[in-house]
Structure formats: structure tokens, C-alpha cells
Chains A and B, each alone.
Chain A
């Protein structure tokens, strides 16, 4: 299964490098939204809960683009049929798609976080970087698991651009709550977050639950 998942992931990364359909669009989207907030809020800098909310809502909305495109090549070019014909455990497909989305999100955040700090953030982000990275990676993991699940669910529907956000965003509310609360004290300045562990625990629990749930139901989503 791991061998098949690696093959599918390698193929997805190669396709993304060739087509540049997801990561550049997601990155551009986040930067444009930060610019819009910069002018729309008419403030030179943000901090605390407002900064945290802007950062996480923007990242979640950008993720929709990646989730919508995650199964696009499989659907449009028949890749899903070729996969279903092969002696491959369908969990391998879920693992590969979730891993691809996770890597896409990390790539986007490599640009988005500095852009956020530059365009909107008041306090220095460098000091809080280790904690912020832990939050971001845990949030990305949950987002990748749920995103792969929703993408597979929407792949055979005609209105997948509509279905993906309608299904994905409500499912991501716990991620938003956990990530925004965990990030808020980090974006307030010098304070060390007191209950960071609690929010990281919530994000970890969400990740575990949704990875297991996705693995359990993924087979059925691909059934005719």
C-alpha cells in the first residue's frame, strides 16, 4: 500500500510541477486576500485575534482551491478508472491525495506566512515561529485528511466547485477554532501562550479522528 501511495504521490507532484494548477493559484489567492485586508481594514498592522482570524480564514479559503483540483486529473483524464482497475488498496489513494494536499499547503504557507507578516502583522513573527510552525503543520494535517475526503466525495458531481466549499468549510470549523485560538497569543506580541498545549491537543485529536474516519470511509466513496 505504501509503495502504491508513493507512486500516486510522485505522479501528483510531477503533474503539479508540469501544470502549476494548484499551488500558484492558492498562493496568489492568499497574497491577494492579505492585500485586500490591508486596504479594506485601513490599518497598517493587525495583531491578536483579528490577525489570527484573518490568517486562518484566508488559509482555509485558499485550501478550497487545492481541494477542488485534487482529483481533477483523475476525473478529467480517466486516472481514477486506471487506479480502480489496478490491484491497489484504495487507502493508498487517500494517503497519496492527503499527502499531496499537505505538501501543497506547506508550499503555499512558505510564501503566505512571510507575506502576512509583511503586509498585515504588527508584532515580529520570528520569535513565535517554532510554536506557529507546530500549529500550522497540525492544522494542515487535518485539512489534508478532510480535504482529500471531500474532494473524493465531490469528484463525480457536476457542481464540485459548489459542493467542495459547502462540505469542507463546516467540517473545518474545529480546525479554525483550534488554530486561531492557538495562534492568537503568538500574534499578540511577546506573551507566551498559556493554553497552547490545549489547542494543539484539540488539533491533534481532530487529525487523528479525521485520518481514521477518512481511511474507514474512503473505499465507499469510490464505489459506483
Chain B
């Protein structure tokens, strides 16, 4: 499902990721932990095919990156820092646009809007919505095409506890999808992950089950 072997990625002379090796089986969750600038977001973007790996081997959903990146397109749900929604369009218009890119029927849009409890506010421009509501729409966008792999960067940021619970079946362990979860919530991340990847300044510190005390060492 996900296999990294000595992954390397640079930005100019700066090494963003080096020697990252990890394997995640289908349906499992990998928590990616590390301080700011550790390379977590870069890792997610490489897995999403938005950045090319500069070294090592990367296999995502059976496709070797970057050569077979096209095989991954449309099979990954990506929830990054930005909601990837057009502010001047309504939530429904944004999702219908995404649905047409993924060749999905409009009925699927109504389905996910109901799942994130946004039917009533779906016809308001995204710019008029609160951050929490935008995040719900971003989750709806990420799972619209029912992807087998979810790449999640702080997915519960801006969500109140009720909304976080509501979205659990879509992006939580209950979704039964393979997940890569970037989080600063060490305890929460470890609790819902099968495996943890610790990064420090782009280098892998661990890729195994660890306890919270070991994980916190990354932030020292």
C-alpha cells in the first residue's frame, strides 16, 4: 500500500527529507510526528505526488513514484494546511466542480455534504464560512471520491469536539482507509496509529510503535 525506502527530497541545497524508510499495510494508520520544519508536510506532498522524490524508492498504492504518479491521481484524499476550495464559490459549487474532475455524479456531493452536516450552509460562499465549517468542507472534498488512501495534515484543526466526532467515520480509524496522519497531538496520534514515524530535521528517528515519552523526544 505504502512503501518508502531511503526517501530523499531537497529544496535547492536544503535537505527536507533523507533516509526515510517505512512500510504501511492496507487499512493501517501511520502517525507522522516531529517539530515544525521536520519534513512532515513535505512527506505528505511527496506521497500525494505533488512533490517529486529526489532519491530512494517510493511506492504508493502499488505505483512507483514519480514514474507512475498518474496511477495515484484520483485515489488519494489529501487534506493539507489549505482547504483547496475556491473562496468565491459556494461549498456545493466547489464539491460539484471536484466531482466533475473525478467523474462523479452530483448525488455523491449531496451524500458527502450530509455526512459533514453542511447541507444547510452548502450554498453560501466559502469566504463567508467559519474556519471549522471550511474544514468540514475540506474533509468532504478529500473523501468525495472515496479514496483508499488518506493523507491528513492536522485534520482536526479548527474542529470542535462534536464536529471531530461527526467526521470520525470519514477520516478516523472507522473509515477503514489507509491513513497517513500528521499531527502535533502526540498522545492522540499514537492512540489511533498502528505505527509512528518520527522525523527530526528531515531525518528519520524512528518508524515503529513508540510510547508518548519516546515521541516527545522529537520536540526537544
Any chain A CB within 8 A of the CB of B3?
no
Of the listed stretches B81-89, B109-117, B156-164, B211-219, chain A binds: B81-89
CB distance A77 to B48 under 8 Å? no
CB distance B101 to A88 under 8 Å? yes
8 Å CB contacts to B: which residues of A1-52?
A: 3-4, 7-8, 10-11, 14-15, 18-19
CB distance B51 to A15 under 8 Å? no
Any chain B CB within 8 A of the CB of A201?
no
Any chain A CB within 8 A of the CB of B50?
yes
CB distance A82 to B89 under 8 Å? no
**Could you say which residues of chain A place their CB within 8 Å of the CB of B87?**
77
CB distance A14 to B93 under 8 Å? yes
Interface string of A76-98 (1 = CB under 8 A from B): 01110111111110000000000
Any chain B CB within 8 A of the CB of A194?
no
**Known contacts A85-B76, A86-B73; is-contact A3 B100 (Cβ 8 Å):** yes
Shortest A81–chain B CB gap in Å is 6
8 Å CB contacts to A: which residues of B108-131?
A: 125
Question: Secondary structure at chain A's binding surface: helix, strand, loop or mixed?
Answer: helix
Report which of A14, A18, A82 forms a contact with B141, defined as CB distance below 8 A.
A82
Report which of B50, B73, B84 forms a contact with A88, defined as CB distance below 8 A.
B73
CB closest residue in chain B, given A223 = B52
> How many A residues, CB 8 Å from partner?
24
Any chain B CB within 8 A of the CB of A213?
no
**Known contacts A15-B89, A19-B88; is-contact A86 B82 (Cβ 8 Å):** no
Any chain A CB within 8 A of the CB of B41?
no
Q: What's the Cα separation between A19 and B84 when bound, in Å?
A: 18
Any chain A CB within 8 A of the CB of B206?
no
**Could you say which residues of chain A place their CB within 8 Å of the CB of B6?**
none
**Known contacts A4-B101, A86-B73, A87-B74; is-contact A11 B86 (Cβ 8 Å):** yes
CB closest residue in chain A, given B81 = A78
**Could you say which residues of chain A place their CB within 8 Å of the CB of B48?**
85
CB closest residue in chain B, given A76 = B87
Report which of A3, A7, A84 forms a contact with B97, defined as CB distance below 8 A.
A7
CB closest residue in chain A, given B97 = A11
CB closest residue in chain A, given B147 = A85
**Could you say which residues of chain A place their CB within 8 Å of the CB of B52?**
223-224
**Known contacts A86-B102, A224-B52; is-contact A81 B78 (Cβ 8 Å):** yes
Shortest B109–chain A CB gap in Å is 13
Report which of A4, A73, A79, A84 forms a contact with B50, defined as CB distance below 8 A.
A84
Q: What's the Cα separation between A54 and B183 when bound, in Å?
A: 58
Looking at B51, B83, B97, B125, the one whose CB has the most chain A CB atoms below 10 A away is B97
Q: What's the Cα separation between A89 and B107 when bound, in Å?
A: 24
8 Å CB contacts to B: which residues of A183-224?
A: 223-224
Q: What's the Cα separation between A223 and B101 when bound, in Å?
A: 19
**Could you say which residues of chain A place their CB within 8 Å of the CB of B101?**
4, 7-8, 82-83, 86-88
CB closest residue in chain B, given A74 = B86
Report which of A3, A77, A86, A224 forms a contact with B85, defined as CB distance below 8 A.
A77
Report which of B73, B78, B80, B84 forms a contact with A77, defined as CB distance below 8 A.
B84
8 Å CB contacts to B: which residues of A173-188?
A: none
**Could you say which residues of chain B place their CB within 8 Å of the CB of A82?**
84, 98, 101, 141
Interface string of A55-73 (1 = CB under 8 A from B): 0000000000000000001
Q: Can you offer 8 A-B residue contacts whose CB atoms are under 8 A? A: A73-B86, A77-B84, A78-B82, A79-B84, A85-B76, A85-B78, A86-B98, A87-B103
